[in-house]
């Protein structure tokens, strides 16, 4: 068995059946993705729209493509025809533009609202007050071609396990608190990467985004 297939199998053996594994393939060649695909993997994550479009065009059409990176609103139109789930909706302008491009493509696009949980200040996302305001105003429901499926968050990049635990717990608490407000489709909590997914699972994640633990280290970080 190839390394990639082996790594996938090892990670999948740690996941309950209700957890979705998104294999993060950014910067990796199509051959690596095909290898994971041949081992049964169908969910892949990319953080650059153009790279995801190129891969979508040349790889099997039953792959579910996840946009996990920061979303530039002028690029949404390129992924709107096919993207499976946009994790990085980190401001209302993104919701608005996804709605517009989804309507043009006659589809409803699933999204996650990215929440700022890291104690470090560089990460994107809504904070709790902004989310509560979005709910209370009812504006979220006016984006009729967008379906809000849940929340996404990234913990601080640190060796401090307690801090990571704390940040994931904060997101889980928020998820539970607001889950009723966004309707029945709100069921996805995307948290956990190669370095911290076991902690995320313990905290209640049901979608993990794992790259280097499957495909090996990236040459450059995109
Ligand atoms: C790159 C990336 C990942 C995967 O990172 P690994 O450490 O390689 O598992 C997960 N989530 C986001 C948002 C990323 O950009």
Note the pLDDT tens digit of each residue in 42-84.
999 999 999 999 999 999 999 999 999 999 999 999 999 999 9
On average, the pLDDT of the chain sits at: 95
d(CA 190, CA 207): 4
Output the pLDDT for position 221.
53
Cα of 195 from ligand 1 centre, angstroms: 9
| Nearest atom (ligand 1) to Cα of 194 | 9
Residue labelled with tokens 């053996």: 13
pTM attached to this predicted model: 0.96
Cα of 108 from ligand 1 centre, angstroms: 26
d(CA 29, CA 25): 8
Verify whether ligand 1 is closer than 6 Å to residue 195 (CB atom): yes
Do 15 and 207 contact (CB within 8 A), yes or no? no
Look at the alpha carbons of 176, 183, 46, 13 in this order and tell me if their dihedral is positive or negative. Answer: positive
CA diameter of the chain:
53
d(CA 158, CA 137): 36
Half-sphere exposure of 52 (CA within 13 A, CB side): 29
Note the pLDDT tens digit of each residue in 177-220.
999 999 889 999 999 999 999 999 999 999 999 999 999 998 86
Half-sphere exposure of 116 (CA within 13 A, CB side): 15
d(CA 125, CA 144): 22
């Amino acid at each position: 068995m190839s390394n990639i297939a082996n790594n996938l199998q090892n990670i999948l053996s740690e996941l309950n059946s209700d957890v979705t594994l998104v294999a993060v393939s950014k910067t990796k060649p199509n051959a690596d993705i095909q290898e994971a695909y041949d081992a049964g993997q169908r969910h892949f994550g990319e953080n650059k729209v153009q790279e995801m479009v190129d891969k979508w065009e040349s790889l099997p059409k039953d792959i579910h493509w996840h946009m996990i990176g920061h979303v530039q609103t002028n690029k949404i139109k390129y992924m709107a025809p096919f993207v499976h789930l946009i994790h990085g909706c980190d401001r209302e302008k993104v919701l608005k533009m996804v709605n517009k491009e989804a309507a043009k493509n006659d589809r409803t696009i699933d999204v996650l609202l990215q929440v700022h949980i890291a104690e470090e200040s560089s990460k994107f996302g809504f904070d709790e007050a902004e989310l509560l305001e979005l709910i209370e105003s009812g504006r979220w429901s006016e984006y009729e071609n967008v379906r809000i499926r849940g929340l996404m968050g990234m913990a601080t990049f640190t060796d401090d396990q307690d801090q990571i635990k704390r940040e994931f717990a904060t997101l889980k608490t928020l998820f539970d608190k607001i889950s009723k407000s966004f309707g029945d489709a709100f069921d996805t909590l995307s948290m956990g990467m190669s370095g911290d997914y076991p902690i995320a699972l313990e905290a209640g994640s049901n979608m993990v985004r794992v790259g280097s633990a499957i495909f090996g280290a990236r040459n450059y970080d995109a």
